[in-house]
Amino acid sequence: MTNTLLSLKKIVKSYQIKSETYHILKSLDIEIKRGDFVAIMGPSGSGKSTLLNIIGCLDSPSSGSYILEDKNVSRLSERELAVIRNIHIGFIFQNFNLISSLSVIDNVLLPSFYLGKENYKRAKELLESMGLSDRSAFKPNELSGGQKQRVAIARALMNNPSFLLADEPTGALDSKTGKEIMDLIVDLNTKQGKTILMVTHDPLIAKRAHSIIHLQDGKIVHE
Amino acid sequence: MNNITVVRKLFRLSWNALMANPMRSFLTTLGIIIGSLTIIIVVALGEGAKKNIEQQYSSMSVTTILINAPSTVDGAASKLSYTDVEPIKQLPSIETAIPQLSGRVQIQYDGQSSNLSVLGTTPNIQQLASLKLTKGRFFTEEENDTHEKVAVIGAIVAEELFGNRNADVIGKTITVGKKEFEVIGLLEYKGGSVGPTTIDDSIFTPYSSTYRYVLGINGRFNMNAQAKDVKLISQAVDEISKSLRETHKLKPGMNDDFRVRDMGTTVSAAVNSSRTMSVLLASVGIVVLLVGGIGIMNIMYVTVTERTKEIGIRKAIGAQSEYILFQFLFEAFILSLVGFLIGCILSFGVYFLLNNLEVSVVLVWWSYVLSFFTTVSIGIFFGWYPAHKAASLNPIDALRYE
């Protein structure tokens, strides 16, 4: 096992609309090591979301290679990508994206269900570590924003993924709760050694990462 | 985690999703409820009609030939009469023939009075309709020749006049119309009929005394004949027609003033018409189910659109397309299955209701099997496309959907 968790080489993403070709990402090279905490910053339209989708295996690049855990995932089918997302990536979204019809514990269990081994014990432990063991039977809409994001983080950790991919994790929270969630994410990195990739537009939040990737017009401006 | 656990879990997911909107789910399944109920009840009605026909003709063998006069033939009265019986009896292919003079008459016994049917005939009806006696004896040819006022009564008649089907009736005197008749025999309960009259609620009397003292020219006259063998039935029908045309002096080109039908043809015509009816009504049931299926498809589309975001989330955290497909397919399946089950429960209610209204219905197991398979295949057929749409959503677009 090498120290490199993921590496993107000459990643290009372009769309063809009629005869025009739009290049969203123009030959990006990114390497993330195990245990890293990297923030990605950039104005809207910089290709941030597209990059996030590619790193999150929700989308494939037009060209270039993406090696995750020594595996080339840039040319996988939708089916194989679903497996990669399930095993290797823990998503944390701005709007929590919990499933409202499921209880808190069922939301946390969901990744393990799609893995084929529902692990109730681990789900309970994760909720406990988030200080939410008394909320496991609640529905998401009975929780506060901060609690929802903790449930989402517990869900992201469920299958013990290779890295966490956080998209504006504090964007929908007030500053106090946002700070608590950031503390939690930093703790996951420092105390548990989780690799974290975080997209944010807030420089104060980005500062808490080890390194920052600045993106502009589909190119990395400086690291 | 094995496949059964996955299926169970997906079922629970689908069930919870449906229960989040119980009223909508119920309304969606309404078409299925009505459709499956229709199929079950239509089959039950068809079976009831079949049973009715079987019961009605159970006492007659296929060699029986019915001869009657259409109510009017060109305004002229039919010449069919008692004198036609003897010549028919003599025909080569005919085993025997009986006259039947029937009508409804007021019958009294010990203050009990009832309007019942009287059938004036000859003793050989006993053989022709295979009548069995529980008490006493049948009247004889001699009693017919001498206009004896004797009667053999059906089980229901005994019940109405004497209180029960096994009452001690022999030797009792009953008033038939205005004349007193002596009861000499009691028939076994049969649940069938001889042509137009049912056996159990009829009184059998000698033809001669019935004509002379009770019905006269007001009685309805018809004949039953019996062919010697099943193979001779059509020959017998031809011979009877020919003989009657001769005795009635009908010229070539003139219409028959009588009607001859053999039992086999009559029963199969009745069975055919009831079957045609069943098929017709069952197709209505299937059309209702189809409409119900379209209702399911419609709501499934709405559901998939409403839950696009949820689908996106599920896919982002690693759900394979099949999981999504089956989750939604199960919803359609559950809707149709629950519709079928409610239809089944309602079918019992409808059954008792129709029974109380004295409509002949017979519930049969295979109508439930038929209804189950039609319903579930329609649910899956119409649920498949929306489920497939859900499964093939692009996770990025689905996640972005608000």
| Beta strands across the sheet bearing A20-33 | A20-33, A4-17, A63-68, A71-72
Judging by beta carbons within 10 Å of its beta carbon (0-12, 13-18, 19+), is residue B381 exposed, middle or buried? middle
Residues B31 and B89 in one domain: no
- Cβ neighbors of A121 (< 8 A, separation 6 or more) are none
Coil, strand or helix: which one is B116? strand
Please list every residue in chain B whose beta carbon sits closer than 8 Å to the beta carbon of residue A78: 321
DSSP state of B163: S
Residues B50 and B72 in one domain: no
Total of domains in chain A: 1
Q: Is B203 left (phi over 0), alpha (psi -120 to 50) or beta?
A: beta
Q: Do B313 and A99 touch (CB under 8 A)?
A: yes
Structure tokens at B212: 């002379």
pLDDT at res. B48: 87
Residues B225 and B282 in one domain: no
pLDDT at res. A45: 83
Q: Do B317 and A86 touch (CB under 8 A)?
A: yes
Please list every residue in chain B whose beta carbon sits closer than 8 Å to the beta carbon of residue A116: 1, 6
Q: Do A117 and B1 touch (CB under 8 A)?
A: yes
Question: First and final CA of chain A: distance in angstroms?
Answer: 25
Give me the total of CB pairs closer than 8 Å, taking one residue from chain A and one from chain B: 65
Which secondary structure element, helix H or strand E, spans residue B386, and what is its range? helix B365-391
Its domain, for residue A148, covers 4-222
Q: What is the pLDDT along chain B (402 residues), one digit of tens a residue?
A: 567 888 888 888 888 888 888 898 898 899 889 989 988 998 898 888 888 777 767 666 778 888 888 765 454 566 788 888 888 888 888 888 999 888 889 888 888 888 888 999 999 888 888 788 888 899 998 998 899 999 999 888 888 888 888 888 888 889 988 889 999 999 888 765 555 557 888 899 999 999 889 888 788 888 888 888 878 888 888 898 888 888 888 888 888 888 888 887 877 887 788 788 878 888 888 888 888 888 888 888 888 888 899 999 999 999 989 889 998 999 899 999 999 999 999 999 999 999 898 788 889 898 899 899 988 899 889 989 999 999 998 888 888 887
Please list every residue in chain B whose beta carbon sits closer than 8 Å to the beta carbon of residue A85: 316-318
Residue A108, min C-alpha distance to chain B (Å): 11
Q: Do A110 and B317 touch (CB under 8 A)?
A: yes
Q: How far apart are CA A29 and CA A169, in angstroms?
A: 24
Compute how many other C-beta atoms are within 10 angstroms of the C-beta atom of residue A26: 15
Q: Does A47 touch chain B (CB under 8 A)?
A: no
pLDDT at res. A223: 61
Q: Does A58 touch chain B (CB under 8 A)?
A: yes
DSSP string, B86-102: HHHHTSTTEEEEEEEEE
Q: Does A177 touch chain B (CB under 8 A)?
A: no
pLDDT at res. B250: 83
Residues B245 and B351 in one domain: no
Residues B95 and B244 in one domain: yes
Q: How far apart are CA A199 and CA A208, in angstroms?
A: 12
- Write the CATH number for A197: 3.40.50.300
pLDDT at res. B125: 87
DSSP string, B310-354: HHHHHHHTT--HHHHHHHHHHHHHHHHHHHHHHHHHHHHHHHHHH
DSSP string, B242-270: HHHHHHTTPPTTSPPSSEEEEHHHHHHHH
Measured in whole angstroms, how far is the alpha carbon of residue B26 from the centre of its chain? 33
Residues B275 and B186 in one domain: no
Q: Of B209, B244, B262, which closes a domain?
A: B262
Q: How far apart are CA B84 and CA B239, in angstroms?
A: 13
ipTM of the complex: 0.92
Q: How far apart are CA B387 and CA B363, in angstroms?
A: 35
Tokens 């027609």 found at: B241
Q: Do A155 and B6 touch (CB under 8 A)?
A: no
Q: Do B316 and A85 touch (CB under 8 A)?
A: yes
Please list every residue in chain A whose beta carbon sits closer than 8 Å to the beta carbon of residue B317: 85-86, 91, 110-111, 114, 155
Residues B293 and B384 in one domain: yes
pLDDT in tens, A131-175: 999 998 999 999 999 999 999 999 999 999 999 999 999 988 998
pLDDT in tens, A175-194: 899 999 999 999 999 999 99
Q: Of B218, B240, B262, which closes a domain?
A: B262
Residues B368 and B274 in one domain: yes
Q: Of B235, B262, B289, which closes a domain?
A: B262
Its domain, for residue B129, covers 63-262
Q: Quick check: A169 and A136 in contact, CB under 8 A?
A: no
| Beta strands across the sheet bearing A195-199 | A89-92, A163-167, A195-199, A37-41, A211-216, A219-220
Total of domains in chain B: 2
pLDDT at res. B75: 47
Tokens 């002596």 found at: B182
Q: Quick check: A26 and A94 in contact, CB under 8 A?
A: no
Q: Does A97 touch chain B (CB under 8 A)?
A: yes
- Cβ neighbors of B247 (< 8 A, separation 6 or more) are B79, B83, B84, B87
